[in-house]
Amino acid sequence: MRPTPPPAPEAALAAMLAALGLSETRENVPAATAAGRLLVSPVFAERDQPPFDRVMMDGMAVRAAALGQGQRSFRIAGMAAAGHAVPPLTADTDAIEAMTGAMVPAGADCVIPVEELTRAGDQLVVSEAAASSAQAGQNIHPRGSDCLAGASVLATGQRLGAVDIAIATGAGAATLEVRRQPRIAIISTGDELVEAGALIAPWQVRRSNAHAVATALRAAGHPQLSDHHLPDDLPLLQAALGELLATHDVLVLSGGVSMGQFDHVPAALRALGVEQVLHRIAQRPGQPLWFGRGSAGQAVFGLPGNPVSTFVCAIRYVLPVLAHLEGSTARQRGLPVQLAAPAKTLKVTRLLPVRLGVSAMGQLLATPRPPANSGDFLTLAGTTGLVELPGMEGPLPAGTVVPYWPWPDSAWPNSTWPELS
């Protein structure tokens, strides 16, 4: 019987998502710390916005009708300052000095900018040009013109950014109900790995994969990370992974998933009751990727150990799965861009690092930056993400539209990743 061929990336991700349930766990967090979280309850305005007729620029508040009747000089009858009670305007010949953001005084319906005024003792004189063009409502932000009390200002299902936090707090929401974020363990395996700053032998290498993955996950809005380094020893590996499975929702391992004598990760996970969903994907780099589901629904990734393979697999699979666990469909498909130059294809899907730029016509163009090998992060220097090329014979010509996944900390579009309809 012929073995089942490994799936292509899209089918592999679909199998991962199908093996995992959606987390329904919610929590309330302070709005000021909710950036990057997925909102699960709508936010409603506590008051009209703005909550009063608001002065839009420094100047004086008067009655437009008085200006229309020829009044040009006004007695200063008080001050309207932001954050303070405001005296009313009681006479056509009076004016209230008004600061930006203050409440418009009762009885006034027009604000003349300060640059159109001349002060003479207790009088403010309006320029002829400003007086002739003045009208009711000028330089006033009307109460409720942005939204009315009780209106929905933030809908569920969106990932909260800086503007959203400002909207929520401006609407009076001190806390926000969000999806609980998965607890993630980043795990490097291998006796050859040594942390930066520690003494290193000639046959050892610096531990960098875990730092790349952790940084990418944090940049994508997943800060609940723990970092671990485990040896190439099956009993020790199994014991440590058992403890991590008991305390985390997602395990992301790097190394130990290929065919070598010290690649113990699949055996250790099987012994711990982790069900294998797939092992190997029809792609390069990253073909040996392993994925399984723990007995309590944990997502378990065994990423290949080569640095480029580890990183592209984290971007292509780990981030979409983490979004799925939070109830989002973001990152399940790449963003369409055009190839800026021809790109070599392989018989299997190729995950190709690129640098994204913009053409003179405003088109997003991906310039291929093929790594010489998958063994060093230096080959990714200057790249902004990866594109996915189909398995086929012959190169793809420049101008071909391909899906693009940015590195989460790149300068190119990330935070507004579209949800799938």
Distance CA 184, CA 213 (A): 11
Query: For 3-99, where are the alpha helices, taking DSSP H only?
Result: 9-19, 64-68
Q: Left (φ > 0), alpha (ψ -120 to 50) or beta: where does 136 sit?
A: beta
**How distant is the alpha carbon of residue 50 from its chain centre?**
29
pTM listed for this prediction? 0.81
Give me the CATH number covering residue 70: 2.170.190.11
Residue 206: which domain range? 9-29+181-325
Instruction: Indicate whether 239 and 372 sit together in one domain.
Output: no
Instruction: Indicate whether 205 and 99 sit together in one domain.
Output: no
- 144's tokens: 């409720």
> How many domains are contained in the chain?
3
Distance CA 40, CA 132 (A): 52
256 in a domain, yes or no?
yes
- 247's tokens: 């305390």
Instruction: Indicate whether 16 and 72 sit together in one domain.
Output: no
**In the listed set 296, 325, 354, which residue is the last one of a domain according to the structure?**
325
Instruction: Indicate whether 190 and 307 sit together in one domain.
Output: yes
For residue 66, the one-letter residue type is A
Distance CA 202, CA 216 (A): 29
Instruction: Indicate whether 302 and 263 sit together in one domain.
Output: yes
Instruction: Indicate whether 237 and 341 sit together in one domain.
Output: no
Sequential pLDDT tens for the chain (421 residues): 566 789 999 999 999 999 997 767 889 999 999 988 889 999 999 999 999 999 999 999 999 999 999 999 999 999 999 999 999 999 999 999 999 999 999 999 999 999 999 999 999 999 999 999 999 999 999 999 999 999 999 999 888 989 999 999 999 999 999 998 899 999 998 888 888 889 988 988 888 889 999 999 999 888 899 999 998 888 999 999 999 999 999 999 998 666 555 468 888 999 999 999 999 999 999 999 999 999 999 999 999 988 999 999 999 999 999 989 888 877 888 999 999 999 999 999 999 999 999 888 888 999 999 987 766 788 899 999 999 999 998 899 999 999 999 999 876 555 455 565 4
Instruction: Indicate whether 187 and 312 sit together in one domain.
Output: yes
Instruction: Indicate whether 193 and 247 sit together in one domain.
Output: yes
* Cβ pair 178, 37 in contact under 8 A: yes
